[in-house]
Amino acid sequence: MPSESEFPLSSKDQLRSVELFGGAGGLALGTHQAGFRPELFVEWDRWACDTVRENQADGFEAVRGWPVMEGDVRKVDWSVIKPGLDLVSGGPPCQPFSTGGKAQAADDKRDMFPAVSHVIQTLRPRAFMLENVKGLTRSTFANYYQLILLRLRFPELVAREGEPWMEHLQRLQREGTSNHEHDLTYNVTSTVVNAADYGVPQHRHRVFIVGFRSDISAPWSLPAPTHSHDALLESQWVTGEYWDEHELASKHRPAKPARFANRIAAIAAGDVAPVGIRWRTVRDALRGMPEPKASGVKGWHNHLLKEGARVYPGHTGSPLDQPSKALKAGGHGVPGGENMLRRVDGTVRYYSVREAARIQTFPDEYELHGAWGEAMRQLGNAVPMKLASTIAESVADHLRAAQLRDVEFAFELTEAALTV
């Protein structure tokens, strides 16, 4: 798990960023680890802001110096940010597009994509990185999703007063894709990822929207997955390395999954070659942790046992030897019982906040503010830090490479001028 030593405080190579809808800080911690320095951290929720502020007070160095602004991103005075910003990042509220909500999209007052587009128009960052639920890409939202992408691509083509969003979309399609040149445009890429494919011990499907300003020569694509299900199947049911690593005797292992029998046989026969590292499981994530207790565990933050977990149809918990189901921001974590684990013998219990933080790849030293339900809500809304850092590192690499190319080109022009 990440430790504070993995979070450099300052570096001449650090890039400047602004974090929107910062929540408990998962995305911001990931971008910080990738080399960005948040110059403003904006979040409207007091509990989430308190989480960041209390970690600052406790001396967690990664968040030291983050200017936390508690409030609405639409009311921020952006003149406090100097020109030349490298990145705007954030996770706009997902409720307008979540399968667990009313899915009202543009008709939901919590839709903050117009606000994001305004911030990008105002700050003109070299790049942006946004995260949201997979539901945003559902066919139900196809037109509105297209509007979001076009609005991010052409942030200066704002909606006119009283203009319905479908008319705005048609105007963007007409004017944005014409030969008319716009002062501010972005090359935008959107991709759905499963966090488990990048080393997060959790099935969490999310859409990432990444854009580079058109004057930045930085052709970007999502980093290739590093982990795979096939590699997990091989380590569990072909070589047995997984069980050996966890020192689990046969009687303590689950039954071989019948639905993957053919796949396991193909791997064993050499017909399928697993790619990458094995998916990380709940058991991997919780390794080295003591069982939570109602009174807490000495030396462990947020590691209290919450009683009352139970199984019922559609609420069965996350198997220990698979990546966790996606943590949810509700009390039970419904649908599916995502906020509790299921042992090999079928018994269940809720994750402690600390265990859920491990599953979201937060450092053990990072405390979550509030009672169990409130802390779980923050974690359920968070971006896994490891996933954030993986994508942010790729963005940072492309920005630095583009900057280096610009410097080299300027040097060549100067050299050519001197030889004339």
Q: Are strands 205-213 and 186-194 parallel, antiparallel or unpaired?
A: antiparallel
Which residue is catalytic, options 20, 28, 87, 94? Answer: 94
How distant, in Å, are the alpha carbons of 22, 25, 72, 338 from that of 43?
5, 10, 7, 25
In the residue annotation, 94 being an active-site residue is answered as yes
How distant, in Å, are the alpha carbons of 150, 214, 249, 332, 352 from that of 162?
19, 30, 67, 41, 48
Nearest to 55 by CA among 252, 302, 290, 274: 302
d(CA 31, CA 395): 9
Any bridge partners for residue 202, and if so which?
A: 324
d(CA 170, CA 193): 29
d(CA 111, CA 116): 10
Which residues have CB under 8 Å from 210's CB, separation 6+? 127, 128, 129, 130, 188, 189, 190, 191, 220, 222, 391, 395
Tokens of 41: 């951290």
d(CA 77, CA 87): 17
- Backbone torsions φ then ψ of 118, nearest 5 degrees: -65, -40
Q: Give the residue numbers marked as catalytic.
A: 94
